[in-house]
Amino acid sequence: MEQMDYISMIFVFMLSTFIGIGVIGRVSRLLHTPLMSITNAISAIAVIGSIIVVGSDHPLPIRILGAIALFSSMTNIVSGFLITDRMLKMFKVKPGIIKGENVKK
């Protein structure tokens, strides 16, 4: 087992939070609902923790907990990505509509 390197983990957490804030701050407000669905799916990355718990040679009750967790995460991954794509498909500039048309001059 590798050493617990918690300082570097805290570093990763700090840096990815800043990346997250930087990237998400630029997301179009039009897309906040799809954004939330896709981050739902992304936070289901808990799936890898679940796989380790359910797949290892642990006592049965532990693996049952892991299986429920894996099922929950998979549900989020599948429904999260599918519904995000379904919503994004709907956002379009219709043909025939002049682009850049705006109330503002």
Rounded-to-integer distance, Cα 37 and Cα 42, Å? 9
Least separation in angstroms between residue 95's CB and another protein is: 10
Give min distance, CB of 60 to another protein, in A: 10
3-state helix, strand, coil in the chain (%, to 5): 70, 0, 30
| Residues numbered 22-61 forming contacts with another protein, rule: CB under 8 A | 23-59, 61
Distance between CA atoms of residues 11 and 4, nearest Å: 14
**60-79 residues near another protein, rule: CB under 8 A:** 61-63, 65-79
Query: What is the C-alpha separation between 38 and 78, in angstroms, rounded?
Result: 10
Distance CA 31, CA 100 (A): 18
- Cβ at position 96, least distance to another protein in Å: 9
Subset of residues 1 to 20 that bind another protein, contact rule: CB under 8 A: 2, 4-6, 8-9, 12-13, 16-20
How many chain residues bind another protein (CB under 8 A)? 91
Shortest reach from residue 58's CB to another protein, in Å: 6
